[in-house]
Chains A and B, each alone.
Chain A
């Protein structure tokens, strides 16, 4: 008798907790998803619905006019291709170089490797703003530490090309690369030493051990790094606006979208400059910019979310 009562109190507690949890999680999920829903709903609204008091989420007149405008003003398709190429190239190069460095720091100890790893931590700590101007100067007259003038006679201006991105990502010094090296190092440190020894006894050298045994195991952390690096490169306006001035890349297009809108909409005959309407087209532009990321995330997230315990973020 007492036992059953006890049991029922327990089960009541459990029920209560799952309800609280449900409310919390649904509420917070709503907070996160709300801006996206709102953007979608404003993007498909017709102009006449903007000031209509009865329209909250579902518009009275559907129209894809906002999309057409945003695509036109942002030069969307070329921009998309440019951004995708840039992000994909830097992401792959960064992941490769960071994986090498991370493995080197984790498993292949040499004299002074601890001090060099201190250098990695330093690159994480120093804000990019501190070194931005010297890097800019450096890239403007790029000499590769005095080597290029010896070969061709003069320095090269690398600004406004993809070279800064390629060079920094080959050498594992691109945006937040210190963090990726750290993630890889933590992961490779977690693989048991016996695995490596067994490979050595079976005749695999260091290179083969890395490519045949370590890398296939590291897929979760590789996915994490790829996703982070791709997304951050896609959204980055800090380095992108410094290195590239005229290229059509998503983050530049986005950050100049408000100005472009003001000019273009004012110039058009049919539209007068309505700040609210401008804001709607701007929101549509943002939606178009994040859409590819969300689609990629939908494919990757399963892999990413369910296998975090092996990503190596925690050592």
Chain B
């Protein structure tokens, strides 16, 4: 302490020390944030408004205004279709994935024999269904053919009967189609909901058991306990999961491929950046709309 005062520095309070160290701890991230995120982000915005000539000795950037955006939206043959495709696919998939993973998390939280095994199997898709492996899987011929031989016919039959049953029960045709298509795509949904199950499971485990005990004494059934306790308590996580699923589904969409191809195959960096920005704006709009609707219903305990 004497050394510090000798050097002419004021002795710091604990709070000041903490603030200083906090800045030091965050510093690596901050450097990276500027070099690898913020500057590239602004650059990409600049590129999207300009035409770029990349040559051996460097590149010339000239400002051309909104031309790239106009080209992406009106001239490019596949951009509009891919964009709407990925948005529609996401709107269809996100509710299914979130509801399904909540259901599974509740199921996996109950006590039964072989729970550890079941859990480790359900988290397996986190490992297997990401990146290049998922891409190759979808193009595998073996799976196509063996699938056609056996399981597809079975599942087709099953959903056909359920479909008839529900239609006769007076359920609207759209809902029936939605549900049966979900059953047919069950692998896709299961494989995309690994992280979401993990998040919900962690959330359910933080709910205090006293709540369930009290409700049980008051005579609530398990079904009621789910709607009145579990659901409100995990509702903040529903929002987290919706956001995560939206971002995740966009990250794996064909849009990414298209943008990369435009940039690195046809070397049209300006157009590619413009596409990427339209894409980012689309994601932001979807996120804002969904968080607006969900956040009204979210229940916070404190």
Contacts and interface: CB of A to CB of B under 8 A. Distances in A.
Given A36-B128, A130-B280, A133-B273, A31 B145 contact: no
Contact of B25 (A25, A103, A128, A242): A103
B186 interface: yes
A244 B198 CA distance: 32
Interface in A279-298: 279-280, 282-283, 286, 289-290, 293-294, 297
Contacts of A173: 29, 32-33, 35-37
A122 B40 CA distance: 13
A42 B142 contact: yes
A111 interface: yes
Interface string B235-265: 0010000000001001100011001100110
A137 B44 CA distance: 10
B232 interface: no
B269 interface: yes
> Main SS of the interface on chain A?
helix
A123 interface: yes
B88 interface: no
Given A242-B264, A301-B123, A138 B39 contact: yes
B284 to A, nearest CB: 7
Contacts, number: 275
A269 B81 CA distance: 44
Interface string A220-252: 000000001001100111100010000000010
A240 to B, nearest CB: 9
Contacts of A122: 37
Contact of A311 (B23, B150, B187, B202): B202
A255 interface: yes
Interface residues of A, number: 99
Interface stretch (B65-73, B129-137, B173-181): B129-137
Interface stretch (B3-11, B110-118, B160-168): B110-118
The CB with the most chain A CB atoms within 10 A, among B23, B25, B41, B128, is that of: B25
Nearest to B146: A38
A81 interface: no
Given A42-B142, A97-B28, A206-B18, A129 B116 contact: no
Contacts of A113: 22, 26
- Count class of interface residues, chain B: 35 or more
Contacts of B186: 28, 31
Contact of A286 (B14, B137, B150, B277): B137
Given A32-B124, A108-B18, A108-B21, A172 B190 contact: no
B121 interface: yes
Given A35-B137, A257-B136, A275-B141, A28 B104 contact: yes
A95 B265 CA distance: 34
A25 B143 contact: no
> Main SS of the interface on chain B?
helix
Interface string B266-284: 0001001100110110011
Given A31-B186, A104-B26, A129 B279 contact: yes
Nearest to B35: A145
A267 B24 CA distance: 58
Nearest to A234: B131
Contact of A21 (B20, B47, B107, B123): B107
Contacts of A301: 120, 123
Contact of B131 (A35, A238, A304): A238
A63 B25 CA distance: 55
The CB with the most chain B CB atoms within 10 A, among A32, A105, A138, A286, is that of: A32
B41 A290 contact: no
B126 to A, nearest CB: 7
B257 to A, nearest CB: 9
A268 interface: no
Contacts of A264: none
A72 interface: no
Contacts of B269: 133
A27 B36 CA distance: 44
A134 B40 contact: yes
B62 interface: no
A285 to B, nearest CB: 8
A97 B21 CA distance: 14
7 contacts: A22-B112, A56-B150, A109-B19, A130-B276, A237-B132, A304-B123, A313-B198
Interface of B: 14, 17-26, 28-41, 43-44, 47, 59, 104, 107-108, 110, 112, 116, 118-128, 130-133, 135-137, 139-143, 145-146, 150-151, 186-187, 190-191, 198-199, 201-203, 205-206, 237, 247, 250-251, 255-256, 259-260, 263-264, 269, 272-273, 276-277, 279-280, 283-284, 287
